Amino acid sequence: MRVWHTLFLGMIRIASLLALIGAPAAALAAASGGDPLGSPMWEYHAARVFADAPIVFDDRVKVSLPVLAENQHVLPVTVDARALDGVERIVIFADLNPIPVAVEYTPLAAQAFIATRIKLDQRTPVRAAVLTKDGVWHVAGDWVDAAGGGCSAPPLSRVRGDWADHLGELRGGTWDDGQATRLRLALRHPMDTGLVENIPEYNIEALTVSDEAGTLLARMAIHASVSEDPAFTLKFASGLSGDLKVMARDSGGLEFAGQLSASSGARIAAASR
């Protein structure tokens, strides 16, 4: 009798696992024991960001960040998903931030790599979600300890009062190490979250990089949880040459542009409005 009971339970477990093949994100997460970080907001974000797409918690997505935010206004985050094939999008988000999503990056002709800096309002998981051509989201990340107020305190440029004098100043440069051409960009902007009294939300919301023929190489949607004076590091194939054009637009409708030579590594210091 016990043998038949054990066999019956085993058949139920097998049937349950088979039923989960091709199941949506929430079901797959449950089948694997749920969110490995144990976030109270995981199911909410899984439904909001990924809808019914399948999710894999994947250590091939390398997320580099400190486990303690020394400055909750500036947390460096680096995402390297070059171990995956067919990467279409990279989303950086912090579960417990009031503005969870920081960056939505579409590499296009770039490598699946991005580094930036974000704000944290409290201790939270910080994650990268990488969408591949097969429709699967590959997720990785870790908890970061942080003091409160990263999203709800005014930026330094607001405190100094000089933000308008430098708005849109764009600087950057390129470096080629034989494996990739690295592009580093920094743009002066207060990146107001709208969570500070009497300061409405005002942030860079889009950025593109194009070659000299105007072909888009990379684009991103940017949210107010990215740090003041946003900075980004992107990587392209080694040997990239010609001029690169950088354009950005903020939520007030202002547009900023700059240009640099990919082959010479010349710096840019330009802005147009």
What are the residue ranges spanned by the domains of the chain? 54-270
Query: Hey, what amino acid is at 114?
Result: I
> What mean pLDDT, rounded, does the chain reach?
85
User: pLDDT digit string (tens) for 135-189?
Assistant: 999 999 999 999 878 888 777 777 777 788 889 999 898 999 899 999 999 999 9
User: pLDDT digit string (tens) for 252-268?
Assistant: 999 999 988 876 655 55
Helical ranges in 79-196 per DSSP H: 156-160, 163-166
Tokens encoding 256: 């900023």
Strands 180-187 and 231-237: antiparallel
Cα 234 to chain centroid distance, Å, stands at 12
The values of phi and psi at residue 10, to 5°, are: -65, -40
Cα 170 to chain centroid distance, Å, stands at 20
Enter the pTM of the model. 0.85
CATH 2.60.40.2470 fits 54-270, yes or no: yes
Whole-angstrom distance, CA of residue 63 vs CA of residue 104? 15
87 closest CA partner among 68, 104, 67: 104
Average pLDDT over residues 225-233: 96
| Per-residue pLDDT at 6 | 38
Portion of the chain with pLDDT greater than 70, in percent: 84
Number of CB atoms found within 10 A of residue 132's CB = 18
Whole-angstrom distance, CA of residue 93 vs CA of residue 116? 12
| Per-residue pLDDT at 101 | 97
Sequence-separated (6 or more) residues with CB below 8 Å from residue 216: 108, 109, 208, 209, 210
| Per-residue pLDDT at 90 | 98
